[in-house]
Chains A and B, each alone.
Chain A
Amino acid sequence: MAGKELMPMRYIEPHAHMVSRVTDDYRDMTTAGCAAVCEPAFWAGFDRSSPQGFYDYFCQLTEHEPRRAAKFALPHYCWLCINPKESENVAFAKEVIALIPQFLDRPNVLGIGEIGLNKNSRNEVEVLELHVDLAARHEQLILVHTPHLEDKHKGTRLILDVLRNDSRIKPERCIIDHVEEHTIQMVLDAGFWAGMTLYPESKCTAARAVDMIERYGAERLWMNSACDWGVSVPLAVPYAALEMRRRGHTPEAVDKMIFQNPLRFLSQSPNFVPPVTLNTTKQQADEPLAQPATRRVG
């Protein structure tokens, strides 16, 4: 065959709530080329009644779920926090945040997330600041959830203010997730990474995600499915990759967007092990990344 050899698609799913998904989803994701999955701490759909409930959840994310994923040859990573949806009770949130440091040295923990805002309340902002302080003190990466629908634009501005007000935070070590057309520019202009979440009914369709890639470039951008217990699609990232191909993007551009970009951001965590895929050359597998993972503040 003339020209380049066709290689199978590979991708990293940087945001998926696998505890809410069935085991078949792991099989389908691996079959579609998923090389690693990352799970931010999330709201269960109901408020947990005690900090002990969060302790159990953090054990699930750091012990049980990696074993479940491993059955399908899929490395599993996680982020820890109390989700913004449960941040209105500051005293409760403080008790949960106090539990987190004991989990940070577990081998699949990437950082603090998904923190952020939900309804943009004063208490949510206070809990966000506590999480940011926790990340800074423990030199952790940060993954930020931005609010839904009518609250997103205002919430994104408030979140950027909180992050910029803490001089220990380095924007290149933070990803602001769920951006849309009215928030992506302010995130990228401030030097942060931006995540686009591919949902059937809210956030962003694959076509709109490709629009934003074409408009803003793919330098500090990733795509995720954020699949959870709601309306969501575990294979949304490979479907968006197909949309990029339909729009004329090269296989190399697709690979950068769905594999190399998340690899570059996540490799800032010393716990993230670059996955070896069928596309990885022996030289790449043997060499350290160009930017070795080091412990840095925020």
Chain B
Amino acid sequence: MNRQQLLDLYFPEARAKLIDIAAFLDRLQRAEGGADFRLEAFNQALGHLQRDDDRRAEQVLLSLSDPTTEPIAAATTKAACGAWPGKS
């Protein structure tokens, strides 16, 4: 598909998701209390949207990933939270 066809197919959906992200950040802004590492990671990931190549999705995923290479000593939870807290 060419760019015009892709815009026709996906622009409304992408626009809606973009506004959802903006509203999410506004919601956080209005709320009281402190944020945590997830918001910082989210904001860093947003920076990859301005890249000038076709690796944005890959780079956003990597920016939210644990960059270490060794297994952790023990699993203390089963859940993942979506961003790396900066320590294993």
Contact = CB atoms under 8 A, between A and B. Distances in A.
A190 to B, nearest CB: 16
A106 interface: no
B4 to A, nearest CB: 13
B45 to A, nearest CB: 11
Contacts of A247: 1, 9
Given A153-B62, A154-B66, A120 B9 contact: no
A135 B72 CA distance: 25
Interface in B71-87: 71-84
Interface string B52-68: 00000110011011111
B75 A119 contact: yes
A118 interface: yes
Contact of B71 (A121, A149, A208, A246): A121
A150 B72 contact: no
Contact of A154 (B9, B69, B75, B79): B69
A150 B64 contact: yes
Nearest to A119: B75
Interface residues of A, number: 30
B24 interface: no
Interface in A103-159: 118-125, 147-154, 157-158
A120 B61 contact: no
B9 A246 contact: yes
A124 B71 contact: yes
A147 B80 contact: yes
A194 B77 CA distance: 27
Contact of B75 (A43, A123, A246): A123
Interface of A: 43, 85, 88, 118-125, 147-154, 157-158, 180-182, 207-208, 211, 246-248
24 contacts: A43-B78, A85-B78, A119-B75, A119-B80, A120-B71, A120-B75, A122-B72, A123-B75, A147-B80, A148-B80, A149-B80, A150-B64, A150-B66, A153-B62, A153-B65, A153-B66, A154-B66, A154-B67, A158-B71, A180-B61, A208-B57, A211-B57, A246-B9, A247-B1
